[in-house]
Structure 1
Amino acid sequence: MNVIILRPSLFFVGFLIGIITVFSFNYAGRIFGTHELQGDHSKTFLSIFKTWSKYSRNYNAWRQKQNVDVSLVNLDDFYYGQPSQGNKATLESEWLIKKVPVTCVVFVEKLKLATTIEDTWGRHCNQLLFFSRYLSDAPVINLNIKYTSSWQLLCEVMRHVWKTRDRVPLNWLIFVNDDTFVVLENLRHMLAPLDHEQYFYLGHPVVLWGNVYNVAQAGYVLSYGILQRLIKIFDTSAKCAAGGKYWKKEDFYLGKHLSALGIQPADTRDAKQRGTFHGFSLNVLLWGVAKPDSYYTKALYPPGRECCSDRSVTFSVGEGDKVRTINYLLYHLRVFGGGSRGNKAAPTPVPEDEVWKIALREEFNLTDVDDITSEEYFQMWRKKYSEPEMFLARNFRGVAEP
C-alpha cells in the first residue's frame, strides 16, 4: 500500500467567520503538549498526568511501524491528473479511516441539523448514529424509554451502541451535540498512536464541585476499553436510571463515574498549549465576541495565550448553512499553490462561435446555417423577438407575455 503524505496541508482546518483562514500543518512533533499541571490540583491528577506521556507516542513513530510506503505527491497532479499505473496510491487521511475507526454518536434536538451532519462531516465517520428523546424521524433513533435524567439517556445510548460491536469496530467513540462540527481527520491523527484497549477519555476537561469531566458542549471521546468497563457496571436499565438524577449534567455524571474507576481526562492541548476540543463557536474563541466564562477559568488544563490549535477537532456551529459552508472550505475549496491542471477552463462541447448556429437550428427549424452570418442571425432573432420577455413568454411557462 502506498500512503501519500501531503505536506504541509493534509490535516487542515478552514474557517469562514468574516474572512477565510486556512491553516497549514506539519506532521513533525508530538500530538500533545507540555506535561505540566497548571493550577492547584490533587496529587491524583498529577500522577495520572505523568503516566500520559507513555501513551502520547509520536505519530510518525507509530506510522513507521505500520509497514507502509510513504511518499510525497503533487496536489495538482493527484486531484486532476490521470491515475498512475501500478499500485493505487492512498491519501494518508483515507488510510487512517480503516486504521483508526471512529463511531460518531450525535444527540439531536433539531432534525435539520441531523440531516446536515449526515451530508457533511458525518460522512467521515466509520459509523454515524443519531439519538433523541423527542424525535423519531429517520435517521434519528428513539429508544422509546421514559428518561428521568440526561445521564440515563447517555447510558442507554452507550448500551445500544455496544450491541453494534459485532458489525462495526468500536475502537473509538465521539459523543457530540447536533450543533457541533467534528474534523474526523484531525481526531484520527490524534488517536492513531493510542491503544484503544486502554482507558482514554478525551475532550475539554473542567473542574466543578470537586469533580473533573469533559464538557459535553465540546464533545468527548471514549476508547473501547472505557466503554467496555462502563457496560459491565451499567448492564441494566435500572442501573442506568440510578446513575444520575439531573438533566443537562450527563457529562458531569460520566466524569464522576469514570473518576470512581480511577480514570481521568487526558490533556488534549497541542504543543503550543492550544485547545483542540472547543465548546464554543469560532466567533467566541478567536475574536472574543462573547466571553466563555467558566470554560477557561475552570479548565483542568488551561490553554495558553493562543486559540485555537491547528489540529482542532471540534467546535460549535449553530446553523445548518454554516455547517455546510465550513464543510465546503475544509473538503472542497483548494487554495492555489502551483500547478496548472486544476486551473484549466472547463471543456466546452460547442465552440463559442458555433453556439448561435445551434440556436438557428432549434429555434427557427433551419438545417443549412453555414452560409448565414452572425449579423443576419441577429436580424432574424430581432424580427422574431423584439424583446427578451417575448422569448421567455413563448418558451417558458409561467412567464406572462407583455
Structure 2
Amino acid sequence: MTHCVTISSGLGCEATMGPYPCDITIPACTVSLFTDNNTAAGHISMMVRILCLITTTKQNHISKARHVAATWAKRCTKYIFVSSESDPSLPSIHFDIPEGRDHLWSKTKAAFKYAYDHYPKDIDWFMKADDDTYVILENLRLFLLTQRADDPIYVGCRFKREVKNGYMSGGAGYVLSRGALTAFVERALPNSSLCSADDTVNEDVEMGKCLENVGVRIQSSIDSAGRHRYAAYYFS
C-alpha cells in the first residue's frame, strides 16, 4: 500500500476527510522536462534545492526504503532516511527513538532538528515523507519555484479539521520552507506551550498546531484550474 504525492493534476483533499483519487498523470509541460535530456529539470533543480527526510523502520529498509532510494528519492537535492538503525546503503541515520506510530512525532521533530543543524544554508525546502509515499520531484520543484524559501510557509495535502487553519497530511508528505523550519526549530520546539513534547500525539496534526502557533502560514497547492497537486491515497 502506498501514499501518493502527485504534485500534478487531479482531485485532492483540501475539503473533507476520506479516500482521495491519486492522479499521477504527468502534464505535457512536465513530459518535456524528461524528454529534453533533463536540461530544464536539471536547471530548476539547482534553483529549488530540496532535502527529503523519509521516515522508515529497520523492518522496511529492504522491502520499502531501498525502492524509494532507487526511484524518486534520487531526484531530491539530498535525501536521508530517518530510522532506528543506521544503514549506509540507503543512507539512513539512526535516532535513539523507539519504533511505532506512537513515536512518529519524536522521530519527525528529531529529523527536522537534524536538517536545521546540518543544512542551514545549502537547502531551500525540507520535505517530510514516509517510505510508502511517491513524489514527482520535477512537478514539486515547478510549484516551489513560484514561492520564496525564506517566507515561513508550509505546503501539502490540507485537512480542514482539528487545527484552526488545518494541517497537512503526514502520509502524503509535506514541505517546510527554510523560513518555516527556522521558526519551528528556534521558536516552537523549545516551548512546550507552543509545541507538544508528548510522544504519543498525532504527528501531522501536532505539526500543524506548532507551525500555526509560530506564524507559519499554509500555502495552498491548488493550481489555477482548481486542481489539487497533493493527494493522500492508498493504492496497491
Report if TM-score (shorter chain) is over 0.5. yes
Aligned to 1:163: 117
1:117 aligns with 2:68: yes
Separation (CA, whole Å) in 2 of partners of 1:210 and 1:118: 33
| Residue in structure 2 matching 1:187, options 116, 140, 143 | 140
Indicate conservation of the 8 Å contact 1:244/1:253, yes or no: no
Aligned to 1:153: 107
1:204 aligns with 2:157: yes
Separation (CA, whole Å) in 2 of partners of 1:121 and 1:193: 22
Separation (CA, whole Å) in 1 of partners of 2:207 and 2:189: 15
Q: Please, what is the CA RMSD of the aligned residues? A: 3.2
1:226 aligns with 2:229: no
Q: Find the residue that maps to 1:218 and give its secondary structure.
A: coil
Q: Find the residue that maps to 1:280 and give its secondary structure.
A: coil
Aligned to 2:215: 262
Deviation at 1:200, TM superposition (A): 1.3
Gaps spanning 5+ residues in structure 2: where? 1-6, 10-23
Matched ranges for 1:166-177 at <5 A: 169-177=122-130
| Residue in structure 2 matching 1:104, options 46, 49, 52 | 52
Please list the CA deviations of residues 247-273 of structure 1 after superposition, one character each: whole Å capped at 9, or x if unmatched. 5x1110010011112333221112222
- Structure-2-length-normalised TM-score: 0.75
Aligned to 1:141: 93
Separation (CA, whole Å) in 1 of partners of 2:66 and 2:139: 23
Please list the CA deviations of residues 270-297 of structure 1 after superposition, one character each: whole Å capped at 9, or x if unmatched. 222221111114x5xxxxxxxxxxxxxx
**Alpha carbons of structure 1 residues 279 and 100: separation in structure 2 relative to 1, 3 Å:** same
Indicate conservation of the 8 Å contact 2:188/2:195, yes or no: no
Counterpart of 1:128, as a letter, is: Y
Gaps spanning 5+ residues in structure 1: where? 1-10, 14-20, 28-71, 80-89, 284-317, 319-402
How many residues of Structure 1 are paired with residues of Structure 2 in the alignment?
206
Separation (CA, whole Å) in 2 of partners of 1:161 and 1:23: 30
Separation (CA, whole Å) in 2 of partners of 1:274 and 1:238: 37
- Structure-1-length-normalised TM-score: 0.46
Determine which structure has greater relative contact order: mean sequence separation of CA pairs < 8 Å that are 6+ residues apart, divided by chain length: 2
Separation (CA, whole Å) in 1 of partners of 2:95 and 2:194: 14
Please list the CA deviations of residues 347-398 of structure 1 after superposition, one character each: whole Å capped at 9, or x if unmatched. xxxxxxxxxxxxxxxxxxxxxxxxxxxxxxxxxxxxxxxxxxxxxxxxxxxx
Separation (CA, whole Å) in 1 of partners of 2:113 and 2:161: 27
Deviation at 1:208, TM superposition (A): 2.3
Matched ranges for 1:233-244 at <5 A: 233=187, 242-244=196-198
Aligned to 1:25: 28
Matched ranges for 1:1-12 at <5 A: none
Indicate conservation of the 8 Å contact 2:52/2:73, yes or no: yes
| Residue in structure 2 matching 1:127, options 78, 99, 112 | 78
The structure with more radius of gyration: 1
Indicate the percent of aligned positions where both proteins have the same amino acid.
Answer: 21
